Each structure stands twice: as structure tokens, then as C-alpha cells.
């Protein structure tokens, strides 16, 4: 009995308030979102990471920073409504080409999706340069191969994509109206769908052909 009490004392978890402080320190020091298991590995034995995260999230409600969930991971981020204050501190962001935005949107809304499915939705072929660019940005990654002839690879969005756009999951993506209001979509028909564009649907409209076109990938 004495030995059992001694063991319980040695491995007794800190009070929840202290656990919150520890989780707060870990998230604050991490540049990337962390999973519960990663956080748990750094805490004393017996800590309840899930409860500490829930309590910490509530404690930060209405503050300048928030404890947010990114996919299955957690992070401390600037409150969404105060993001404009950070604009002067941010590196200037270059805009993606229309082709890259459309490809990214299709993957996000239809994931997991194959290249052939992307081309079917867009109405034009997708250049390797566009896919490579999105992979390089770490906004998309390869998913499982389809169990269909040829076993085509699929594409899905990444945790980095969700974190960049402040989303907890792909289910939080904005609707078409919100995308149009933000300027990410417009009412123009897709390339290859223009009147008189028959036979041009196979064209690789966004490939890296020359330096000028490559510069057009960004503004």
C-alpha cells in the first residue's frame, strides 16, 4: 500500500492550470501546428492534453491571439479579425495565376481528385508547371492512387494550406459567392470554353513557355 501511494505521488500530474501553461508555452514556441501526441510527449506523465487544449482555447477567446485547430493539429495564431494589423510585418505575397487558383480550388473542393478530373472540370489540360508550383508551395500533396485502370494518383490539400487560409478543415472552405466577392473567382468562362474556342480545349494554357508567361504566374 505504501509503495502504491509512493508511485501515485511520483507520477501525479500537475494541476490543470499548470498543464495549460505548459501547453501554452509549447504552442507559442512552435512555428508549425502540433498534434496532441507531439504535445503529450513533452508534458509530465499523466497530463490530459485534450482537456488542457479545450480550457486554453476558451481562455483565449476574445483575445488578440487564439488557440486554433488546424486539421488534427493545434497552434496559436493572430485573431482572424486582427490580421490586418500584421500586414506591414508580412512578406509581400505574389498572386497565383488564374490557372493555379482554379486548379487549387478544384482540388480543395473535390479532393481526392485526379489530374484527369481536374482537366474535365476546367475544360482544359493542366500543365505540369501548375501542379509542380502547388506542390512546391506545399499546399497540395499526393493522395492515394485510385483503384481504377492505370492507378492514377490523386491530389489533396495539406495542413499548410489549411493553416495559411485559417481553416480547421476543408469543410470550412468558403462558398462560390464568397470566392467571387473576394476576387478569387470571376464570371469569365474558363479557358477553352470561350465561344469559337473549339479544338483549343486541349491546349496547355498555363505551361511555362517563356519568361514573360512565367512572370505572369505572379503579379
**CATH number for the domain that contains residue 64:** 1.10.10.10
Instruction: Give per-residue pLDDT as tens, 92-107.
Output: 566 778 888 889 888 9
Domain count, the chain: 2
Cell of 123: 475544360
> What is the arrangement of strands in the sheet containing 73-78, beginning at the earlier edge strand?
34-35, 73-78, 65-70
In a domain, 124, yes or no: yes
Domain membership of residue 139 (yes or no) is: yes
Both 124 and 67 in one domain: the answer is no
Residue 96 zone, left/alpha/beta (φ > 0; ψ -120 to 50; rest):
beta
Contacts for 86 with CB less than 8 Å, ≥ 6 apart: 78
Confidence of residue 168 (pLDDT cuts 50, 70, 90): confident
> In this structure, are residues 193 and 73 in contact, taking their beta carbons and an 8 Å threshold?
no
Query: What local confidence, expressed as pLDDT, does residue 177 receive?
Result: 65
Instruction: Please check whether residue 205 is in contact with residue 217, taking contact to mean a CB–CB distance below 8 angstroms.
Output: no
Q: Would residue 1 count as lying in a domain?
A: no
Task: Classify the C-alpha dihedral 167-170-172-174 as positive or negative.
Answer: positive
pTM above 0.75, yes or no: no
Residue 54 lies in a domain: yes
Whether residue 201 is found in the same domain as residue 121: yes
- Show the cell assigned to 129: 508547371
Per the listing, cell 464568397 goes with 178
Using CA atoms, how far apart are residues 58 and 53, in angstroms rounded to an integer?
9
**Do 73 and 113 reside in the same domain of the chain?**
no
Percent of the chain exceeding pLDDT 70 equals 70
Asked if 67 and 20 touch (Cβ cutoff 8 Å), the reply is no
Which pLDDT score, from 0 to 100, does residue 93 have?
60
106/186 same-domain check: yes
Radius of gyration of the chain (CA): 23
Q: Specify whether 65 is located in the same domain as 126.
A: no
From 47, 69, 48, 71, select the one nearest 60 (Cα to Cα). Answer: 69
Q: Based on the domain organization, do 54 and 105 belong to the same domain?
A: no
Question: What does the alpha-carbon distance between residue 141 and residue 155 come to, in Å, rounded to a whole number?
Answer: 6
**Do 187 and 105 belong together in one domain?**
yes
* Beta-carbon count within 10 A of 201 CB: 16
129 and 196, same domain (yes or no): yes
In a domain, 120, yes or no: yes
Q: Are residues 145 and 46 in the same domain?
A: no
Assign 193 a pLDDT band (cuts: 50, 70, 90). very low
Q: What's the confidence (pLDDT) of residue 191?
A: 40
Say whether both 186 and 106 belong to one domain: yes
Residue 34: how many other CB atoms lie within 10 Å? 19
Could you tell me the three cell numbers for 216?
505572369
**End-of-domain residue from the set 47, 80, 113:** 80
Please write the tens of the pLDDT for every residue from 31-78.
899 999 999 999 998 899 999 999 999 999 989 999 999 888 999 998
Stronger pLDDT, 1 or 139, i.e. the higher one: 139
Same domain, 198 and 107: yes
**Would residue 187 count as lying in a domain?**
yes
Q: Please indicate, yes or no, if residue 85 is contained in any of the structural domains.
A: no
**Residue 3 domain-assigned?**
no
203-217 per-position pLDDT tens digit: 444 433 333 333 333
59 lies in the same domain as 102: no
Residue ranges making up the domain that contains 17? 10-80
Amino acid at each position: 500500500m505504501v509503495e502504491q501511494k509512493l508511485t501515485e505521488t511520483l507520477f501525479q500530474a500537475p494541476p490543470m492550470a499548470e498543464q495549460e501553461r505548459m501547453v501554452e508555452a509549447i504552442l507559442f514556441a512552435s512555428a508549425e501546428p502540433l498534434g496532441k501526441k507531439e504535445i503529450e510527449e513533452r508534458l509530465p506523465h499523466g497530463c490530459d492534453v485534450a482537456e488542457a487544449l479545450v480550457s486554453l482555447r476558451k481562455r483565449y477567446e476574445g483575445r488578440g491571439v487564439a488557440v486554433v485547430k488546424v486539421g488534427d493539429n493545434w497552434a496559436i495564431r493572430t485573431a482572424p479579425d486582427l490580421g490586418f494589423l500584421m500586414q506591414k510585418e508580412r512578406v509581400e505575397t505574389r498572386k497565383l495565376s488564374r490557372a493555379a487558383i482554379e486548379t487549387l480550388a478544384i482540388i480543395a473542393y473535390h479532393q481526392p481528385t485526379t489530374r484527369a478530373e481536374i482537366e474535365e472540370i476546367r475544360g482544359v489540360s493542366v500543365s505540369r508547371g501548375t501542379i509542380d508550383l502547388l506542390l512546391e508551395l506545399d499546399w497540395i500533396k499526393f493522395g492515394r492512387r485510385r483503384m481504377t485502370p492505370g492507378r492514377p494518383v490523386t491530389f489533396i490539400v495539406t495542413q499548410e494550406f489549411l493553416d495559411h487560409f485559417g481553416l480547421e478543415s476543408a469543410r470550412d472552405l468558403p462558398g462560390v459567392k464568397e470566392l467571387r466577392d473576394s476576387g478569387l473567382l470571376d464570371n469569365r468562362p474558363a479557358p477553352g470554353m470561350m465561344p469559337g474556342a473549339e479544338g483549343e480545349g486541349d491546349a496547355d494554357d498555363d505551361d511555362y513557355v517563356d519568361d514573360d508567361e512565367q512572370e505572369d504566374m505572379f503579379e
